[in-house]
Every structure is written in C-alpha cells, then in structure tokens.
Structure 1
C-alpha cells in the first residue's frame, strides 16, 4: 500500500499543533510528510507498518532529547523549603525612606538606600541601612546624631516606596513592578497582563530576594511576594 503526499487536513493539523504549543506533534507530522515526499519522488511505495515504525522511532528520539535537556537544568527546590515572607520588613537597595527628625526640618526629608547599602544623612554621613528594619535604622540614626550633633534626638523612619519585584516567563508583560502590601503570585501575574496561551497555570517558580535558588510553588496556594523577589512562569508542553 502506498502513501500519497500529505493533504490539507494534515497541514492544518500541523499548524494547529504549533498554535497549541505541541511542538513534538507538529514535528512528527512535518517529518512524516517530508519522508513521504522524498520516497514518492523516488517512486518507492511505503507500507503502513514501515512508515509508522519510522515515525515512532523519530518521536521517541525527540522525547528522549527533551527529557535529557530538562534533566540538565537545576531542579527547583520544593515549596516546603520556601522561606515565608517576613512580617518584619528589612531594608534593601533602592528602598525610598522618609526620615523625620523632630525639631530639625533641615535634616528631615526623603532619602534612598544607595547601591552601597547606606543612607547618606546630613552631618553624620553614610549610615548602614541594608538588612535593618525601619525601627533598627531609627535607633542607629539616634545613636549617630546623639554623638555630638543633637541633644536627645528623636527620629522616625518610614518606607514610602519599596524596591520592585520581578516577573518573567510566560506572562504578557514581563518586567519589574512596584511591590505593594499583600502582593501575591496571582496578583503579580495579573499586574503583568495575565498568562500567555502556552503558560503553565498550575505552578510557578519563586526566588526570594538574596537567594540563588528557585522554589517550585503551586499557584493555587498563592504565596506572598516580598520586595526583590523573582517570579518565573514556565511553559506547558502538553
């Protein structure tokens, strides 16, 4: 029994497979069509069993290659190893602060944590800020100003603009976005314009600020996002 060239129905299936992100299925149909065209030009009929065996062999090879590529990637950690978003916010690079020194309007104002992790304050110069809470920075400023600059200084520190979080992968508008109180994985996806058509909507990968590894998290659990976190939405293959 001989095969004819692929008809429009098979071509349509290939296009549909590509549109759905089913790359292996599309590759399978294209490969079968190419083999049949080549053999038809040579005048050699192809049996159903022979054609099916070649197609399955190629499909198995592609699956093995895909599996090998995935195994080469660093496996993400389980969600159980994900550190929770801290209730006490720690200052980081880029945070913007409002510092009020009572009775000293010339010293009060808005400041930003620099790339060196410090806040440049009038009179006393650079004060280490990264890793401190707002209350701890207040205490550090009081100690510095009390050391020969002000009598019994009183200081209040407020974070008015947090550093951003980042989202990448299969979302409509990947990038950096300002962190607000109560930001979660789902709200971050919504802020980025929602999922693409090929996104995996069941899980995501979350890397906490200061960490070097990702944690695989369930989207249904909707964990909280902290400033500096990185969210990656993966692609579904099937």
Structure 2
C-alpha cells in the first residue's frame, strides 16, 4: 500500500466546519490543535497485517489572509511475521481565503527512510490550474478546469449542509504531490447537537455537528469503488471528532485525546 494515501484527504477534514456561513465576510475557522489516537477497527483476511495503531496531530491556524494547516500521522503496523513497519507522514499547507492558491510541503517516511517528498504551489490562473513543484526535475501538473482546493471544498460542503442537501461531488487537489488529485463524494447527515461529550471534548458541549462521510476515487482509473473513505462528526467551529478511516485492508477509529483552542489572529 502507498502509505501517503492513508492520510490523503485529512486536510479536508480539518477544513470542514467553518464558523459562520455569511457571504458578507470571508469564512473563518477557529484555530485549534487536535490530537487523535488511532486504533484498529476492522482487518481483512488477506491484509497481511496483524495489528495497527497510531496518532494524528493536526494544527489549524486561521490567519487574516489565509489558512495554515500542519498535520502529522504516524502509524505502527505489525505483519504476520512480527515485523514492525512505521509510517510517518507530514504535510504543511497555506491556502488563501479565496481558494485561488495553495502552497504545500509534504514528506512520507517508512521505517525512517524518506520515500516521498513534495513541495510547491497550486494555483488557478487565466490559462488553467497548474501545480508547480519546487524540484526542477519534477514536471508541472495540469489539473482539470473544475478542480478546487480544500478551502473551497469546505465552503461548498457547508453551503450544501446549510441548505439541507446531503450530497456533494467535487474534484479536489489537496497538495499531496502527484497523488493529491481525487474525485470526491461527500455525504452529509442532518445537523445534531452534542449534549454529553467525553472529557476530552468538553469544549464542544452544546455545539452543532453534522455526520459526514467523504469517499475518494482515483481520477486516473475508472472506478466504481472508492480508494478509501473517511467519516467523522464535524462541528461548526472546525473541529472533527469520531474519525473512521476505511481502507481496503483495514479500518481505523480516531478519538480525540487532546483538544486545544488557540488565540485567533487579530485582523483589521
């Protein structure tokens, strides 16, 4: 399995749930850091894996002109021979509030060895949408004309949720190098209120959330089944809880271990 694909789309998780849907002002997130403990939920018979555990750390900082997202995901997998495989993925992005441009930097390590590293800029231009990588040997990517970045995907999901729609299809490029382009299908549930949160989520008591599932399809292949699915509860302040990461060989559940709200940047 390409383990960088394991966290493809988590960037979208941290963007969903902007506080306020007014068209009069830029949509804003609540700056916060969330730590998720991952545990194995289901395992297929032919996976070759005996156990999986891990952790995700996501830090979201809403600035006046854009959004900074830093995420890291570490997975420890044990195969049937008892060998331990450690995947360490990290990604940093900045996206302007208009969704016109995104800078990204990602790396993926397996057992301490670097196997992937990408950095660059994705931008909507007059002549199309282009990804320019920092490595001069890496050719540029031309994206479909209707592709959007995660911030715009967020706005579209929220507008759909606010109007009672439960389906949204979109092509999204999330900055995950050559593998960052996916066709997505979001299924949005009915709004609910969190009444009795666990201790780690007490700051969310009384807030509204939507059940959400996003399926990711590889655009380079004709697929009827998604590469993977991510489900969660998503709150209006930008926090995601109750993660379910569903892959072909196994599925994981992610529960919040720590949640810290950060001071917002003061904007004129």
Give the TM-score normalised by the residue count of structure 2: 0.19
Query: Greater CA radius of gyration, 1 or 2?
Result: 1
Work out which structure has the larger RCO, using CA pairs closer than 8 Å and 6 or more positions apart in sequence: 2
Q: Give the TM-score of the pair, scaled to structure 1.
A: 0.21
Higher strand share: 2
